[in-house]
Each structure stands twice: as structure tokens, then as C-alpha cells.
Structure 1
Amino acid sequence: MAKKIDPETLRASVAKISDWLDRGAPDADRPARQPLAAAVRATARTLAQDAPGHSVEVRIPPFVAVQCIEGPVHTRGTPPNVVETDARTWLLLATGRLSWEEVLDARRADVSGSRAAEIARWLPIIEC
């Protein structure tokens, strides 16, 4: 089992990249890889803590993939319920700067499976 993410670590990691999330140009002043990776991993792993289970896989390449949401366990091959998005979109979603509906409407995430949308219940992960 992964190390538990404490709320202070979560807040600190997101605070380091918060200015970048607030800017409209995603490639302008992109944070260094380490702080960006830390924020992505902390928010995704917090989702997995808050919504434990193995029925939905959330992927934010190249940083992390977590399984969450109670339900049938998937053990081989591609999981039937997957949400995959880029780091910026994930962080905007995780911090409440974008809603699940906005992400879906703008096709900013690949979503497959009948249970993938259940992550919306657990969002935002941290409000900034």
C-alpha cells in the first residue's frame, strides 16, 4: 500500500504550482518537473485514499496511475473503467478550477467504462 498523503503535504505540493494553474497559457512558465510531479501524485493518491477500491483507474502520464472507487476488482489487461488526462487538466480538476462536466465537454480527458464518471463524486480533491 502506498504511503498515506497527509493534508499538509497535499496543500504544500499544490501551492507550489498554483500560480501556473491560474494562468491561462498552459505552456507559459510551466513548473519544473519535480514540483509538477509532486502535485499530480499527491492529488491522485489522495483520491485513491478518499475513494478506496479498484474499479476505476485514473492515469496522469507520465506521473502516476491510481486505482480507486469500490466495486469489482480488475486484475489483468486494460481496466474497463479508465480516466486519463494530462497533468494540467488533472490539477485543474483536482483543485476545482475545472468541473468534471467542463473536462468532458471540452474532451480534455479520455474516459471509458460505465463507472469512470464516479470519480466526479470525489472532486475537487483540494479547493484552492
Structure 2
Amino acid sequence: MPGRTIDDAEGAAALTAVVAGATDRASVATAVRWTLQRLAEDVPGNSVEVRVPPFAAVQAVPGPRHTRGTPPNVIETDAATWIALATGALRWDDPAVAVKVSASGSRADLASFLPVRTTP
């Protein structure tokens, strides 16, 4: 993940705050970036790009690597939905996900990788 690596204690604190109802931009941004960082660490690869604008995007999931332009496998969602997916509060196969998540490409399925590991 480009940029600085978020310390686990800092990321966990931000995630705990957001799950408890914090909506300040700094907490949400840190929680999103940290959970995306964890996804990329736990499921390394370059075949799927996961985007949570305006906070971050990572590439994860083993498979064919794209080298130019928009990747063929893209998942994009808002911060609240990503946090819910990352923590297990929302399941990938929940009907609400189809409305709140844009997923394109044959590998754009995170069901087996969610929730992300939020403990060191």
C-alpha cells in the first residue's frame, strides 16, 4: 500500500472508535486505510483493486497482474460499507452489498477474505 504504514495500535484504535460511532475524518480515514492495509498484507497479490474513495485503494488477491490502465477486477465502495465488510458487520453475500459495492471482473469477490484480520 503506498504511503506510510499504519501502526496496528493506531489502526485498531481508529477502527474501534469508528465502530463505536466516531465520524471524524481522521478516525474514518485511518480505520479505512488500516483495514485495507491488513487486507493487502493478508491476501497479497495484484489481481483485484479495492477502492474506498477518497481514502485509499490497494491491490490484493493472487492472480494475473494488470500493468496499464484500469484493472479488470475492481471493487469500490464507501467508507461505512467497507468498515462494515472489514469487521464482519456486513457479509459479502448480503443483498445490501450489491447496492453499496461496485464489483467488476471475474476475481472481484472478497467473500473468502472478509472480515479482515484486525488483531496482530
* Matched residue, 1:14: 15
- The whole-number CA distance in structure 1 between the counterparts of 2:48 and 2:68 is 13
Query: Compared with structure 1, are the counterparts of its residues 70 and 96 closer, same or farther at alpha carbon in structure 2 (3 Å cutoff)?
Result: same
- The whole-number CA distance in structure 2 between the counterparts of 1:104 and 1:68 is 23
Identity level (%):
50
* Matched residue, 2:71: 79
What amino acid sits opposite 1:77 in the alignment? G
Contact 2:38 2:117 in 1 (8 A): no
Unaligned runs of 5+ in 1: 21-29
| CA displacement at 1:8 relative to structure 2 | 3.0
Unaligned runs of 5+ in 2: none
User: Which string of whole-angstrom CA distances, capped at 9 and with x for unpartnered residues, describes residues 19-48 of structure 1?
Assistant: 22xxxxxxxxx6111111000000011100
* Matched residue, 1:68: 60
The answer on 1:89 being equivalent to 2:54 is: no
| CA displacement at 1:10 relative to structure 2 | 3.1
User: Which string of whole-angstrom CA distances, capped at 9 and with x for unpartnered residues, describes residues 47-106 of structure 1?
Assistant: 000000000000000000000001111111110001000000000000100000115654
* Matched residue, 2:115: 124
TM-score in terms of structure 1 length: 0.82
- The whole-number CA distance in structure 2 between the counterparts of 1:105 and 1:34 is 25
3-state SS of paired residue (1:83): strand
Contact 1:52 1:69 in 2 (8 A): yes
- The whole-number CA distance in structure 2 between the counterparts of 1:103 and 1:11 is 28
RMSD: 2.1
Query: Compared with structure 1, are the counterparts of its residues 67 and 80 closer, same or farther at alpha carbon in structure 2 (3 Å cutoff)?
Result: same
What amino acid sits opposite 2:113 in the alignment? W
- The whole-number CA distance in structure 2 between the counterparts of 1:126 and 1:52 is 13
3-state SS of paired residue (2:99): coil
